Amino acid sequence: MKFCTVKQYFDDENNNNVTNGIATTVIPLPNKHLKIKANNKEMEQYEQELLRNVMPQELTKLILAANYLNFKEALDFFCRTVANAIQNKSVDYVRKFFGLESDFEPGEEEKLCKEFAWSFEGVDED
Amino acid sequence: MRTRRGLCYPRVVEDKNMRVLKRRRDFAADQVSYRKRSRNSSDIAGKRDLFDSLPDDLVISILCKLSSSATCPSDFANVLLTCRRLNGLGLNSLVLSKTSQKTFAIRAKNWSEFAHRFLKLCADAGNVEACYTLGMIRFYCLHNRGSGASLMAKAAISSHAQALYSLAVIQFNGSGGSKNDKDLRAGVALCARAAFLGHIDALRELGHCLQDGYGVRQNITEGRRFLVQANARELAAVFSTSANPTRPLFTWNPLPLPHPHPHPRTVNSGGGGGGCPLLSDFGCNVPAPEAHPANRFMSEWFAARAGIPGPGLRLCSHVGCGRPETRRHEFRRCSVCGTVNYCSRACQALDWKMKHKAECTPTERWVDEDGDGDGNGNGNGDNGGDGGGEDGVNVNDDVMPDS
């Protein structure tokens, strides 16, 4: 039973965790899963299409929705998408992606850069 | 789960344009903190809110996916430098325990205390690849035999095939100790475990041990079975990892028949089913497998030291291996030309087909029954690497001839 919280969800009217747009994306996923049960390639294609135009904000909402609905496969997939998006990009790109600001002290940041200098080679300039 | 601003999941604080829903009693404090943050641009603000709204455990699962799919160290290290929260969560032991093998592909020239510490953190978190990599580096490069071996043992206990094989090589050679510290039976046992996990070099090594009765009772047919299996797995590995279907996986130059040559064992024992040719002996040249980060690190480390690991010590002549001797005359050498040394039969076999077959020329004939590599590059040698010669090069146990 993939949707353990669905029943609760429908009973719970004041729920803002999952907005309408997100629900329409996430909920059809289990049906599609069942139809293409063993065929991984098709599932991948379907998922690629689904997430081609999704911005990070949407992705975060999708993750939260999948988590709330206790839908493990979708959660894994969305997390993997985020991971692929930030893989081997520069520090600034990752900051921009998540909308973060560096909250290190200046000395601290330099120290960390030095500490991890051994790992830096061949980073995408994207 | 608390997010950075102290909100409790499953509540979600939306962007200020949307309706804010609070369910908990402590909403007053949150209202205050919410209003305090100044927004520069709604775009960044929107993103930041959303990232903040992700609770720690979800960020950890994103980072786990990132670390397990990383293909180089910087893939993962970038995230640790962005902000305090990601730094803290990135160093969570759950994330570190899933880090992939390639994240530990440290270049030897970049080695530092921090790299060491990072590996140690990952090893402590239970990452088997980190245990193995750090074990190899400590054992061979940093000369810390005890700690290196125990780290490798930790990985081996979790059935890490390379760790089991590396420990087997150490036992066969008595590395880190004297010649009397060789434990052939232990080496065979470890090799067998690695072989049963499908490790190709271990399969070859085990096959040769069985054929020679080295550390285990001689069983020639069983040994041959393992050697054949090693060849089969090698071929299967090429097919399963081929990324580029347009490029030919391997070159195939079929020969009229496998090059016939005298093999001492079959001559003496009359068809006991002696050695087993490598794939390259049939003209099928599979590309060499990609070296493990630990092996690559060692090759680079010793290359930077002019290829000399110590006074009078040599490196394994197989470039993909990188292991150094730990005492003089530890490795065995090619009995035909005597110019190359190998840590194990498996390395010898791999190097034979990759380059030694073409360049091995007999300089002296050893007059003993384990004899004689066959004529090789002389015969069919116009293309590098094809032309069949069996891997008939037997290594002597020591450089010193029996006198």
Q: Are residues A48 and A80 in the same domain?
A: yes
CB A110 within 8 A of CB B79: no
User: In terms of Cα–Cα distance, which of B84, B87, B142 is closest to B111?
Assistant: B142
CA angle B100, B106, B109 (to 5 degrees): 180
Q: Are residues A92 and A66 in the same domain?
A: no
Q: Are residues A126 and A67 in the same domain?
A: no
Is pLDDT above 60 for B274? no
Per-residue confidence (pLDDT) for residue B276, from 0 to 100: 74
Average pLDDT over residues B331-341: 88
Average pLDDT over residues B366-385: 38
Per-residue confidence (pLDDT) for residue B129, from 0 to 100: 93
| CB contact (8 A) between residue A103 and residue B114 | no
| CB contact (8 A) between residue B79 and residue A60 | no
A63 contacts chain B (CB < 8 A): yes
User: What is the least distance, in Å, from the CA of A93 to any CA of chain B?
Assistant: 9
Average pLDDT over residues B162-170: 95
Which site among A15, A54, A87, A124 would you substitute to test the B interface, given the most B Cβ atoms closer than 10 Å to its Cβ? A87
B61 contacts chain A (CB < 8 A): yes
Q: Are residues A48 and A14 in the same domain?
A: yes
Q: Are residues A64 and A19 in the same domain?
A: yes
| Cβ neighbours for B345, distance < 8 A, ≥ 6 positions apart | B204, B205, B208, B209, B395
Per-residue confidence (pLDDT) for residue B354, from 0 to 100: 83
User: In terms of Cα–Cα distance, which of B346, B374, B379, B350 is closest to B362?
Assistant: B374
Q: Is the pTM value of this prediction over 0.80?
A: no
ipTM of the modeled complex: 0.75
CB B115 within 8 A of CB B73: no
Q: Are residues A42 and A73 in the same domain?
A: yes
Q: Are residues A80 and A94 in the same domain?
A: no
Per-residue confidence (pLDDT) for residue A32, from 0 to 100: 59
**How many domains does the structure of chain A reveal?**
2
User: What is the least distance, in Å, from the CA of B44 to any CA of chain A?
Assistant: 5
| CB contact (8 A) between residue B114 and residue A114 | yes
A5 contacts chain B (CB < 8 A): no
Q: Are residues A78 and A94 in the same domain?
A: no
Boundaries of domain holding A52 = 1-87
When mean pLDDT is compared over B116-125, B272-281, B308-317, the highest value belongs to B116-125
Q: How confident is the model at residue B145 (pLDDT cuts 50, 70, 90)?
A: very high
Q: Are residues A98 and A74 in the same domain?
A: no
Per-residue confidence (pLDDT) for residue B223, from 0 to 100: 93
Between strands B332-333 and B284-285, the pairing is unpaired
Average pLDDT over residues A21-50: 63
- What one-letter code names the amino acid at B248? P
Q: Are residues A77 and A92 in the same domain?
A: no
| CB contact (8 A) between residue B78 and residue A100 | no
CA distance B61 to B3: 15
DSSP state of B356: I
- E strands, B278-340, are 284-285, 332-333
Average pLDDT over residues B176-203: 92
Which site among A118, A121, A123 would you substitute to test the B interface, given the most B Cβ atoms closer than 10 Å to its Cβ? A118
% of chain B residues with pLDDT over 70: 69
Task: Residue A47: give its domain's CATH number.
Answer: 3.30.710.10
Per-residue confidence (pLDDT) for residue B172, from 0 to 100: 93
User: What is the least distance, in Å, from the CA of A32 to any CA of chain B?
Assistant: 23
| CB contact (8 A) between residue B78 and residue A88 | yes
What does each C-alpha distance from B64 to A46, B58, B316 come to in angstroms?
24, 10, 37
A101 contacts chain B (CB < 8 A): yes
Tokens 């669905």 found at: A6
Residues β-bridged to residue A89 = A124
B32 contacts chain A (CB < 8 A): no
Among A68-77, B166-175, B254-263, B356-365, which is the least confidently predicted range?
B254-263
Q: Are residues A59 and A15 in the same domain?
A: yes
Is pLDDT above 90 for B146? yes
B305 contacts chain A (CB < 8 A): no
Residues β-bridged to residue B251 = B285
CA distance B58 to A113: 26
Q: Are residues A100 and A53 in the same domain?
A: no
CB B179 within 8 A of CB B146: no
As a whole number, the mean pLDDT across chain B is 75
Phi-psi region of B315 (alpha: psi -120 to 50; beta: other; left: phi over 0): beta
Average pLDDT over residues B72-80: 83
